[in-house]
């Protein structure tokens, strides 16, 4: 994930919307590498120090006008961190830098590079980000109501917050933990288990030795915070699990990724069915105005309502796109294509010159670049799951497709592989080698040093944006969102954002939602889908035009792309969702309930008692109309009896869980409805009758059952408690 870009867009949108947000990170002074692709197609990477004096970044000063330096203890030494500030509009971003004289030598490079070192370096970085980060905000005078952890790398912040609350309020670990839960949100950004750091117990012991004594808990209780219940201590301390266990709210970054995350982390809540575990989703977006090409933005200024830039997330804003004359939109798009052709030519020329090619040889590769040819772009990190070489699976067929005289097609690639990722680098070499094959010489291009600058030209200058990750491993993806608001049409696997963004008229889908027996079968199916769709749909649509004219059919795709994604996949929409569904509900919870220690203690006592007595709850039923044939539209009343020994009925939610029973015994179209106490419920017994009426949306064999879940005003998500009682038949 390119957190840098995504978080940058997150901050810009917060600034636009006036959301009071402050951000903390590490200053990776040596964080970005320049990529070269040599004559053999090998990636060469060169790390360079960023030039701090040429960036809008400044050291924060303390009261005496000196550079602000904070410190945390680490292994018997103090670790000092210089603080830098970047203003992103109205939002402040603070970056911590360990590369200062005051530090012992081995601490100086902690913040040098992202993913630079071994596990020990990683735990140090994460202690800085999480624990020093909390301290930094305090020193700067911030007192955030809600902390948002993006990915598990920052989840040690929960440990620091718990400590601070214990000290400030003189409360126990458990009470402090409840308070911290009401202040924390965790967003998981990856669908693969390896995306979360797991630290060996030796490292945890080394860096956190004794913290459990300060907390008043045992070492084992402490370590279990980063583990699933079923795991033994040896499995290591998982940063993602820590964040999931403590945070009040949790989310994935697209609808599909939410579902995948619920499965992936199902055993954090073993009692709750995976599809109901408490992880929601907020789909990633892009800071639209930052990613629109200047001439495209000007065109929108002309045709969209005034102040459209302030109403990015309003879908009505984008409907006006249809009023742009096709010829205008195409003319502006062509300008972007021509600009991209120049960028490709320069990039390739530079690369080939360094590899010792003469000008004539180079011209051989670039002179036939054609802005009128259908141009397909693929640019992203060369991680293997993105399958950059999938389109080459059948070279013969691709040769036919690219070399059609009347309907030529060009392919342009760009991307970096992590310097330690040998397989990723091999993908670059494969594409390089294929691009050198005689039949592809002026058809396939691979650009050096993919970065935001090159991304800008690509996402606005090609016609089709290709994305073929191995479903469902793309959590969201954002480059396709950047492309589509510029009128570049997506052609993508139904994964990440496109699984919800594709509507049948705004681009094309690769493959299906099927699960495959093997990677090989999946690759074959998906590559065939690519060729078929190119041959039968994309190429005909692009070239469906009169001599010298434009393709109305294509313009329709372009406009549908812009209209359907401009608002929905903006960081404005994303921030509004974070604010309405996550930030504000937590702020309200904290302010209304968690600042009052007595309330928190009562709540904790209630939780404890509920857990202890949960098994005494019994659900029974007197009538039985289960698995009967009913018609759609029928309204039926269902009831059950719930025995609640020593339970306040206000603290449970009794629910009917129902759906259509299919022939194979599974239940379809599941709904859940909360039931009410029946009027004539027996007064002084601990058995209470609950009932509700439900309207059936589908006919057929209908089945239902009852269940009880905990309910409390201070319970942020009822599934968080991992308690559920089903009726036993
Ligand atoms: C937007 C962007 C990305 C992210 O693209 P994905 O589709 O999520 O892989 C990566 N790198 C750069 C330079 C970008 O601009």
Query: Given 93, 116, 139, which residue is the final one in a domain?
Result: 116
Instruction: Quick: pLDDT tens for 415-440.
Output: 999 888 999 999 999 999 999 999 99
Asked if 285 and 572 count as a contact pair (C-beta separation under 8 A), the reply is yes
Mutation test residue for ligand 1: of 466, 479, 485, the one with most atoms within 8 Å of CB: 479
Same domain for 481 and 397: yes
- Whether 668 has a pLDDT exceeding 90, the answer reads no
Please check whether residue 169 lies inside any domain of the structure. no
**How far does residue 635's CA lie from ligand 1's centre (Å)?**
50
Residue 1 binned pLDDT confidence (cut-offs 50, 70, 90): very low
For ligand 1, pick from 453, 478, 483, 485 the residue to mutate: most ligand atoms within 8 Å of CB: 478
Q: Which helix (H) or strand (E) holds 166?
A: helix 157-169
Asked if residue 106 is part of any domain, the answer here is: yes
Nearest alpha carbon, ligand 1 atom 15: 452
Q: Which residue shows structure tokens 């959301």?
A: 19
Residue 479 CA: nearest ligand 1 atom is: 7
Rg of the Cα trace of the chain? 29
Nearest CA to ligand 1 atom 1: 479
**CA–CA separation, 199 vs 226, rounded Å?**
9
Which tens digit of pLDDT belongs to each residue from 174-223?
A: 999 999 999 999 999 998 877 889 999 999 999 999 999 999 999 999 99
Q: Is the peptide bond before 477 cis (omega within 30 degrees of 0)?
A: no
Which protein residue has the closest C-alpha to ligand 1 atom 9? 380
**Per-residue pLDDT at 623:** 66
Same domain, 414 and 558: yes
The answer to whether position 463 is within a domain reads yes
* Centre of ligand 1 from the C-alpha of residue 549, in Å: 33
Query: At a CB cut-off of 8 Å and minimum separation 6, what does 513 contact?
Result: 471, 494, 499
Residue nearest to atom 14 of ligand 1 (CA): 452
Distance 388 CA to ligand 1 centre (A): 14
Please report the sign of the dihedral spanned by the C-alpha atoms of residue 7, residue 12, residue 17, residue 23. positive
Closest Cα to atom 8 of ligand 1: 477
Contact 538, 491 (CB under 8 A): yes
* Angle, helices 326-354/552-565, rounded to nearest 10 degrees: 90
Dist. CA 301–CA 389, nearest whole Å: 39
In a domain, 147, yes or no: no
Cα 372 to Cα 306, 335, 556, distances in angstroms: 33, 11, 18
Atom in ligand 1 nearest the alpha carbon of residue 459? 15
Residue 283's CB: how many other CB atoms inside 10 A?
A: 26
DSSP bridge partners of 187: 150, 251
Pocket test for ligand 1, best of 1, 3, 4, 5 (most atoms within 8 A of CB): 5
Give the pLDDT band (50/70/90) at residue 575. very high
Q: Are residues 554 and 623 in the same domain?
A: no
Cα(98)–Cα(107) distance, rounded to whole angstroms?
7
User: Looking at ligand 1, which atom is closest to the CA of residue 477?
Assistant: 8
Residue closest via CA to ligand 1's atom 2 equals 479
Q: 540 and 629: one domain? A: no
Q: What is the DSSP code string of 441-463?
A: TTTEEEESS--HHHHHHHHHHSS
Mean pLDDT for the chain overall = 94
pLDDT at 681: 59
More confident call, 478 vs 47? 478
User: Cα(193) to centroid of ligand 1, in Å?
Assistant: 21
Distance CA 725, CA 714 (A): 20
Mutate to test the pocket of ligand 1, among 33, 114, 380 (most ligand atoms within 8 A of CB): 380
Ligand 1 center from residue 465 Cα (angstroms): 12
| Strand pairing category for 184-187 and 198-199 | unpaired
Which residue segment(s) compose the domain that 509 sits in?
289-569
**DSSP assignment, residue 598?**
H
| Interval between CA 570 and ligand 1 midpoint (Å) | 15
Cα of 203 vs centre of ligand 1, distance in Å, is: 33
Estimate to the nearest angstrom the gap between the alpha carbon of 140 and the chain centroid.
29
CA-380 nearest atom, ligand 1:
9
Ligand 1 atom showing the smallest separation from residue 467 Cα: 7
Q: Supply the pLDDT for residue 54.
A: 74
Q: How does DSSP assign 467-481, residue by residue?
A: E---TT--S--SHHH
Q: What is the DSSP letter of 551?
A: -
Q: Tell me, yes or no, whether 397 and 542 share the same domain.
A: yes
Q: What percent of the chain stands above pLDDT 90?
A: 83
Q: How far is the CA of 452 from the centre of ligand 1 (A)?
A: 8
Residue nearest ligand 1's atom 11 by CA: 380
CATH of the domain at 678: 2.60.40
Q: Can you read off the two tokens belonging to residue 223?
A: 């370590």
Q: Which two tokens stand for residue 184?
A: 């924390």
The pair of three-digit structure tokens given for residue 695, joined into one six-digit string: 């309207």
Helix (H, G, I), strand (E, B) or coil at 612: helix
Q: What is the pTM of this model?
A: 0.95
629: phi then psi, degrees, rounded to nearest 5? -85, 125
Are residues 655 and 554 located together in one domain of the fold? no
Q: Where are the alpha helices (DSSP H) in 113-156?
A: 119-127, 133-139
Q: Do the domain assignments include residue 82?
A: yes
Mutate-to-test residue for ligand 1 from 2, 383, 386, 449, highest number of ligand atoms within 8 A of CB: 2
Nearest to 603 by CA among 615, 619, 590: 590
* 586 torsion bin: left (phi>0), alpha (psi -120 to 50), beta (else): alpha
Phi, psi dihedrals of residue 95, rounded to the nearest 5°: -125, 135
Ligand 1 atom with least separation from CA of 451: 13
Residue 37's H or E segment, with its range, is: strand 33-37
Residues 471 and 620 both lie in one domain: no
HSE-up of residue 281 (Cα within 13 Å, Cβ side):
24
Nearest atom (ligand 1) to Cα of 452: 13
Q: Ligand 1 atom 3: the closest Cα is on which residue?
A: 479
ω before 472 within 30° of 0 (cis)? Answer: yes
pLDDT of amino acid 621: 84
CA of 670 to the centre of ligand 1 (A): 37
**CA 478 to ligand 1 center in whole angstroms:** 6
Domain with residue 523: its CATH number is 3.40.50.2000
* Same domain for 531 and 383: yes
The alpha carbon of 496 and the centre of ligand 1 are apart by a number of angstroms equal to 13
- 314 shares its domain with 394: yes
The answer on 527 and 657 residing in a single domain is no
pLDDT for the residue numbered 80: 98
Neighbours of 729 (CB within 10 A): 9
The residue from 60, 95, 116 where one domain ends is 116
Domain end point (choices 65, 87, 116): 116
Q: Which of 4, 455, 484 should be mutated for ligand 1, with most atoms under 8 A from CB?
A: 455
CA nearest 481: which of 252, 288, 321? 288
> Residue 482 CA: which ligand 1 atom is closest?
1
**pLDDT number for residue 448:** 97
58 contacts 67 by C-beta, under 8 angstroms: no
Distances (CA, A) of 108 to 139, 338, 399, 449: 22, 46, 53, 28
Number of domains in the chain: 3
- CA–centroid distance, residue 332 to ligand 1 (Å): 23
List the structure tokens of 426. 């091999």
CA atoms of 515 and 522, how far apart (whole Å): 8
Centre of ligand 1 from the C-alpha of residue 228, in Å: 32
Percentages of the chain per state (helix, strand, coil), in multiples of 5 = 45, 20, 35
Pairing of strands 635-643, 687-695: antiparallel
Ligand 1 atom having least distance to the Cα of 476: 8
Residue 2 has pLDDT above 60, yes or no: no
- Write down the pLDDT at residue 230: 85
Question: Kindly report the CA angle at 591 between 589 and 592, in degrees rounded to 5?
Answer: 65
For residue 61, the CA-to-ligand 1 centroid distance in Å is 34
**Ligand 1, closest atom to CA 386?**
9
Are 59 and 72 in contact by the 8 Å Cβ rule? The answer is: no
Quote the CA–CA distance of 74 and 105 in Å, as a whole number: 13
Of 99-103, 176-180, 539-543, 685-689, the range with the lowest mean pLDDT is: 685-689
CB atoms under 10 Å from CB of 276, counted, come to 17
Q: 414: Cβ–Cβ under 8 A, 6 or more apart, which residues?
A: 378, 379, 446, 447, 448, 450, 454, 455, 458
3-state secondary structure (DSSP) of residue 705: strand
Mean pLDDT in residue range 341-366: 95
Ligand 1, residues at Cβ distance < 6 Å: 2, 5, 380-381, 450-452, 455, 477-479, 482
Residue 34, pLDDT score: 92
Please compute the mean of the pLDDT values over residues 278-288 and round it to a whole number. Answer: 97
Residue 129 lies in a domain: no
Q: Is the pLDDT of residue 156 over 90?
A: yes
- Centre of ligand 1 to C-alpha 114, Å, is 17
- Residue 579 inside a domain? The answer is no
> Could you tell me the distance, in angstroms and rounded to a whole number, from the CA of residue 479 to the centre of ligand 1?
5
Q: At what angle do helices 359-366 and 326-354 cross, to 10 degrees?
A: 150
Distance CA 575, CA 366 (A): 43
At 212-264, the pLDDT tens digits run 999 999 999 999 999 998 888 889 999 999 999 999 999 999 999 999 999 99
CA dist., res. 286 & res. 10, Å (int): 8
Q: How far is the CA of 482 from the centre of ligand 1 (A)?
A: 9
Same domain, 658 and 553: no
pLDDT at 166: 98
**432 Cα to the center of ligand 1, angstroms:** 21
Number of Cβ within a 10 Å radius of residue 613: 13
**Ligand 1 atom nearest to 1, measured from its CA:** 8
The rounded Å distance from CA 333 to ligand 1 centre is 21
Same domain (yes/no): 628, 489: no
Residue 448 domain-assigned (yes or no) = yes
pLDDT at residue 113, as a whole number: 84
Retrieve residue 599's tokens: 């309330």
Residue 156: exposure state from Cβ atoms within 10 A (0-12, 13-18, ≥19)? buried
Whole-angstrom Cα distance, residue 436 to residue 446? 10
SS3 183: coil
If you measure from the C-alpha of residue 349 to the centroid of ligand 1, how many angstroms do you get, rounded to a whole number? 24
Residue to substitute in 33, 381, 387, 473 for testing ligand 1 pocket (most ligand atoms within 8 angstroms of CB)? 381
Structure-token pair, residue 234: 């040896």
Contact between 107 and 24 under an 8 Å Cβ cutoff? The reply is no
Nearest CA to ligand 1 atom 5: 479
């Amino acid at each position: 994930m390119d957190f840098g870009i995504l978080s940058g867009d997150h901050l810009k949108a917060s600034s636009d919307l006036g959301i009071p947000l402050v951000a903390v990170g590490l200053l990776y002074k040596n964080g970005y590498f320049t990529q070269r692709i040599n004559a053999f197609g090998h990636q060469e990477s060169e790390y360079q120090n960023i030039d701090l004096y040429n960036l809008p970044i400044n050291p924060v000063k303390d009261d005496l006008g000196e550079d602000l330096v904070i410190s945390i203890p680490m292994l018997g030494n103090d670790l000092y961190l210089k603080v830098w500030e970047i203003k992103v509009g109205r939002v402040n971003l603070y970056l911590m830098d360990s590369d200062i004289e005051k530090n012992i030598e081995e601490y100086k490079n902690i913040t040098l590079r992202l993913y630079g070192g071994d596990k020990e370096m990683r735990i140090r970085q994460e202690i800085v980000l999480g624990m020093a980060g909390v301290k930094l905000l305090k020193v700067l005078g911030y007192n955030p109501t809600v902390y948002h952890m993006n990915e598990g790398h920052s989840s040690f912040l929960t440990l620091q917050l718990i400590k601070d609350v214990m000290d400030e309020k003189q409360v126990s670990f458990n009470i402090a933990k409840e308070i911290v839960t009401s202040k924390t949100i965790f967003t998981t950004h990856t669908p693969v288990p390896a995306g979360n750091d797991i630290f060996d117990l030796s490292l945890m012991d080394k860096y956190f030795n004794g913290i459990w004594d300060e907390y008043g808990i045992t070492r084992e209780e402490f370590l279990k915070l980063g583990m699933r219940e079923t795991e033994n201590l040896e499995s290591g301390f998982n940063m993602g699990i820590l964040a999931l266990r403590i945070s009040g709210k949790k989310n994935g970054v697209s609808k599909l990724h939410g579902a995948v995350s619920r499965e992936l982390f199902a055993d954090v809540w073993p009692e709750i069915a995976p599809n109901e575990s408490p992880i929601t989703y907020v789909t990633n977006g892009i800071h639209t105005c930052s990613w629109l090409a200047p001439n495209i933005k000007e065109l929108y200024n002309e045709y969209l309502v005034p102040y459209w830039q302030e109403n990015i997330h309003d879908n009505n804003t984008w409907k006006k796109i249809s009023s742009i004359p096709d010829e205008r939109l195409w003319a502006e798009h062509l300008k972007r294509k021509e600009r991209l052709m120049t960028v490709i030519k320069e990039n390739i020329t530079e690369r080939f010159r360094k590899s010792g090619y003469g000008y004539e040889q180079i011209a051989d590769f670039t002179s036939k670049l054609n802005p009128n040819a259908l141009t397909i772009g693929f640019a992203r990190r060369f991680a293997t799951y993105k399958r950059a070489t999938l389109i080459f699976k059948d070279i013969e067929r691709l040769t036919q497709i690219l070399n059609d005289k009347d309907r030529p097609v060009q392919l342009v690639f760009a991307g970096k592989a992590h310097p330690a990722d040998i397989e990723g680098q091999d993908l670059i070499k494969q594409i390089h080698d294929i691009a050198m094959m005689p039949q592809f010489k002026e058809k396939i291009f691979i650009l050096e040093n993919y970065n935001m600058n090159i991304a800008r030209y690509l996402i606005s200058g090609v016609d089709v944006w290709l994305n073929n990750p191995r479903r469902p491993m793309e959590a969201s993806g954002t480059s396709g969102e950047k492309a589509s608001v510029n009128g570049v049409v997506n052609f993508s696997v139904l994964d990440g954002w496109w699984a919800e963004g594709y509507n049948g008229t705004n681009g094309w889908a690769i493959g299906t939602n099927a699960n495959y027996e093997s990677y090989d079968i999946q690759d074959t199916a998906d590559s065939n889908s690519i060729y078929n769709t190119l041959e039968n749909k994309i190429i005909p649509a692009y070239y469906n035009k009169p001599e010298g004219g434009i393709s109305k059919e294509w313009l329709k795709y372009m406009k549908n792309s812009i209209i359907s994604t401009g608002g929905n996949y903006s960081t404005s929409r994303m921030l509004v969702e974070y604010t309405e569904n996550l930030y504000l509900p937590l702020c309200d919870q904290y302010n209304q309930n968690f600042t009052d220690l007595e309330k928190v203690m009562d709540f904790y006592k209630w939780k404890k008692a509920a857990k202890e007595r949960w098994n005494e709850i019994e659900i029974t039923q007197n009538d039985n109309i289960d698995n009967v044939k009913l018609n759609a539209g029928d309204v039926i009343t269902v009831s059950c009896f719930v025995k609640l020994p020593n339970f306040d009925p206000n603290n449970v939610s009794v629910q009917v869980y129902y759906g259509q029973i299919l022939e194979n015994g599974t239940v379809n179209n599941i709904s859940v409805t909360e039931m009410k106490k029946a009027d004539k419920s027996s007064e002084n017994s601990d058995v209470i009758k609950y009932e509700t009426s439900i309207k059936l949306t589908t006919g057929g064999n209908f089945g239902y059952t009852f269940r009880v879940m905990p309910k409390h005003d201070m319970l942020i998500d009822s599934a968080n408690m991992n308690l559920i009682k089903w009726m036993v038949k």
